[in-house]
């Protein structure tokens, strides 16, 4: 059996609340797996790509330049230390396969709550616990995510099935 693996473009197409003129933020964007399809979907909006690694953002810059994508702004930052965007400015935030790498998950999710507009959404995707795939330590459970988001007033809107290896939760502010 072929494993059902994460597909950012397909996932973004399933997010019916996304509108062409929205502002989005990908925390832990890496070299742009989510940013590129998101920038297409939000063709009249803006996508912030935030990462802690300059090399990842440099690789993304090359992809954006060669694809002539102009609605993406790169941010070199550590989400645990804060994001230099004003309060209530973002319509949609994505954290994909990043929470397991973050020491202070609550601090990052507090930052997500601060950045999100009222009625905004956050998509949290992370690894399910497996012996042969994903991180071996520091795996984040759905329950841990529920606990923190509930405390911050983010309400679960949908639990998406994104395949065998990841859980995906959509919360609304």
CATH number of 39's domain: 3.40.50.150
Is 14 part of a structural domain of the chain? no
- Lowest-confidence pick of 15-24, 31-40, 119-128, 130-139: 130-139
pLDDT at 1: 41
Tell me the average pLDDT across 50-68.
97
The DSSP bridge partners found for residue 73 are: 48
Report the percentage of the chain scoring pLDDT > 90.
80
CA distances from 53 to 7, 11, 60, 75, 79 (A): 23, 25, 11, 10, 12
Q: Which residue segment(s) compose the domain that 157 sits in?
A: 20-172
- CA–CA gap between residue 10 and residue 39 (Å, rounded): 14
Is 132 part of a structural domain of the chain? yes
- CA–CA gap between residue 122 and residue 109 (Å, rounded): 10
Is 1 part of a structural domain of the chain? no
Is 5 part of a structural domain of the chain? no
**pTM of the full predicted structure?**
0.92
Q: Which residue has the tokens 């949609």?
A: 92
pLDDT at 59: 97
Question: Could you tell me if 72 and 64 are in contact, meaning their C-beta atoms sit under 8 angstroms apart?
Answer: yes
* pLDDT band of 28, cuts 50, 70, 90: very high
- CA–CA gap between residue 96 and residue 30 (Å, rounded): 10
SS3 at position 28: coil
- CA–CA gap between residue 125 and residue 142 (Å, rounded): 10
Residue 14 has pLDDT above 60, yes or no: yes
How many folded domains does the chain comprise?
1
* pLDDT band of 161, cuts 50, 70, 90: confident
Tell me the average pLDDT across 77-83.
95
pLDDT at 163: 75
- CA–CA gap between residue 115 and residue 94 (Å, rounded): 12
Question: Could you tell me if 93 and 24 are in contact, meaning their C-beta atoms sit under 8 angstroms apart?
Answer: yes
Is 2 part of a structural domain of the chain? no
* Region class of 138: left (phi > 0), else alpha (psi between -120 and 50), else beta: left
Tell me the average pLDDT across 81-110.
95
């Amino acid at each position: 059996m072929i494993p059902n693996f994460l597909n950012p473009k397909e996932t973004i197409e399933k997010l019916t609340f996304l509108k062409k003129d929205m502002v989005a933020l990908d925390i832990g964007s890496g070299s742009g797996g989510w940013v590129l399809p998101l920038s297409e979907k939000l063709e009249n909006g803006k996508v912030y790509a935030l990462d802690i690694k300059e090399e990842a953002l440099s690789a993304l810059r090359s992809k954006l330049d060669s694809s002539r994508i102009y609605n993406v702004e790169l941010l070199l930052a550590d989400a645990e230390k804060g994001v230099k965007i004003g309060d209530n400015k973002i319509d949609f935030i994505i954290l994909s396969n990043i929470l397991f790498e973050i020491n202070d998950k609550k601090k990052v999710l507090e930052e997500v709550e601060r950045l999100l507009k009222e009625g905004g959404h956050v998509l949290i995707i992370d690894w399910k616990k497996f012996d042969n795939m994903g991180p071996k330590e520091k795996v984040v459970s759905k329950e841990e995510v529920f606990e923190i988001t509930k405390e911050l007033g983010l309400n679960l809107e949908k639990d998406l099935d994104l395949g065998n290896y990841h859980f995906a939760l959509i919360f609304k502010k």
